[in-house]
Amino acid sequence: MAIYYKYSQYLKEKHGEKTYKLPLNLPLTCPNRDGQLGEEGCYYCGEQAAGFESEPDESVRQQLLDLKDHIGEKYNAKKFIAYFQNFTNTYLPLSKLRMYVREALTVEDIVEIVLSTRPDCVSYKYLKGIRDLVNTVDSSVSLSLELGLQTVNYHTLKKANRGHSLAQFIDAVLTARTCDYETGAHLILNLPGDEMEDVRENARVLSALRVDNVKLHALYLREGTEFARQYQAGELEIIPMEEYIERVITFLEHLDPRIAVQRLLGRAPRDTSVFVNWGKDNRKIQQMILEEMKERETYQGRKFDYLQGSCLQKFNS
């Protein structure tokens, strides 16, 4: 039995073979940076918002072709996902995002479009506008929405200056489903202020909402961010790596086993960061988590027993 349900496996089942994400880099911004909500951004957000392989002045088609060549050759891959990754993609005017998506659909072997965004930049009208376009051009291409949630604890969301609420995340997931999108959520399991109970509640809320996938991160501190400043001033502490490992295990144990997990922690460039993964390689920590779970004979969903009237179970015996 697998220790957890890997996203790569989920994509294989969905598309019939290994499928790879091609991350796009577009010239856009985010309401938490351009002044709509604020200018500081989330307190952990580095200047560039994500790591990129492409230049934003290249066309969507060219970026996808270049990445496809590179990844296709390296992994002998034949199916790909156009991953609109950076900043807040649905904060673009709808006509503009439709133009980019249309361009992505001109690239052969694209089987899925993934849009990464904030929960407060999702509306039925907007998502339907993209859905209608995809259905018109090639209805076999699937659509997914990746939502930055980070934590279900709305006090912690405030402390991290996220600028959105838990309610907006729930609304975004339900709205996406009505437009036939799959949904994913990003979580940081060690945001300052969160405790183990928040980690369990993260798993419970995502399971109750039946999202399709989740991507986990450990908090890293990019130079110039507010959290990096707080850390250097001794105002912010990061939990020890052993505690992070415990949190990931607890999260997975409580997560619905049908939810695919994209990764157990991320990575960031060390030369422009104040703190990344306790100075260790992310793959090494991932390995430690898996070994620990194996040792304990535990797995994703082992404690997924709390939905659907858990107190009524006594009547079934």
Tell which positions 269-308 bind ligand SF4, by CB under 6 A. Answer: none
3-state secondary structure at position 235: coil
User: Minimum distance from CB of 29 to ligand SF4 (Å)?
Assistant: 8
Dihedral sign from CA coordinates of 7, 13, 17, 22: negative
Indicate which single residue of 148, 192, 266, 301 sits in contact with ligand SF4 (rule: CB under 6 A).
Answer: 148
Task: Please tell me whether residue 42 binds ligand SF4 under the rule CB under 6 A.
Answer: yes
Indicate which single residue of 3, 11, 33, 261 sits in contact with ligand SF4 (rule: CB under 6 A).
Answer: 33
Indicate which single residue of 32, 54, 156, 277 sits in contact with ligand SF4 (rule: CB under 6 A).
Answer: 32
**The one segment of 40-48, 190-198, 225-233, 244-252 that binds ligand SF4 by CB under 6 A:** 40-48
Q: Say how many C-beta atoms besides its own lie within 10 A of residue 163's C-beta.
A: 21
Name the residue nearer to ligand SF4 (CB basis): 88 or 277.
Answer: 88
Task: Please tell me whether residue 41 binds ligand SF4 under the rule CB under 6 A.
Answer: yes
Dist CA 91 CA 115 (whole Å): 11
**The one segment of 27-35, 211-219, 230-238, 302-310 that binds ligand SF4 by CB under 6 A:** 27-35
Amino acid sitting at position 181: Y
Q: Which residues contact 290 (CB under 8 A, 6 or more apart)?
A: 3
Q: Residue 95: is it exposed, middle or buried by C-beta count within 10 angstroms (0-12/13-18/19+)?
A: exposed
User: Minimum distance from CB of 20 to ligand SF4 (Å)?
Assistant: 23
Indicate which single residue of 3, 26, 45, 127 sits in contact with ligand SF4 (rule: CB under 6 A).
Answer: 45
**The one segment of 26-34, 212-220, 243-251, 273-281 that binds ligand SF4 by CB under 6 A:** 26-34
Q: Residue 35: is it exposed, middle or buried by C-beta count within 10 angstroms (0-12/13-18/19+)?
A: exposed
Question: Site map for ligand SF4, 67-106, x if CB under 6 A?
Answer: --------------------xx------------------
Torsion angles phi and psi, residue 289, rounded to 5: -65, -45
8 Å CB contact between 188 and 239: no
3-state secondary structure at position 206: helix
User: Minimum distance from CB of 279 to ligand SF4 (Å)?
Assistant: 23
Dihedral sign from CA coordinates of 31, 36, 39, 44: negative
User: Minimum distance from CB of 31 to ligand SF4 (Å)?
Assistant: 7
Return residues touching ligand SF4 (CB under 6 A). 30, 32-33, 41-42, 45, 49, 87-88, 118, 148
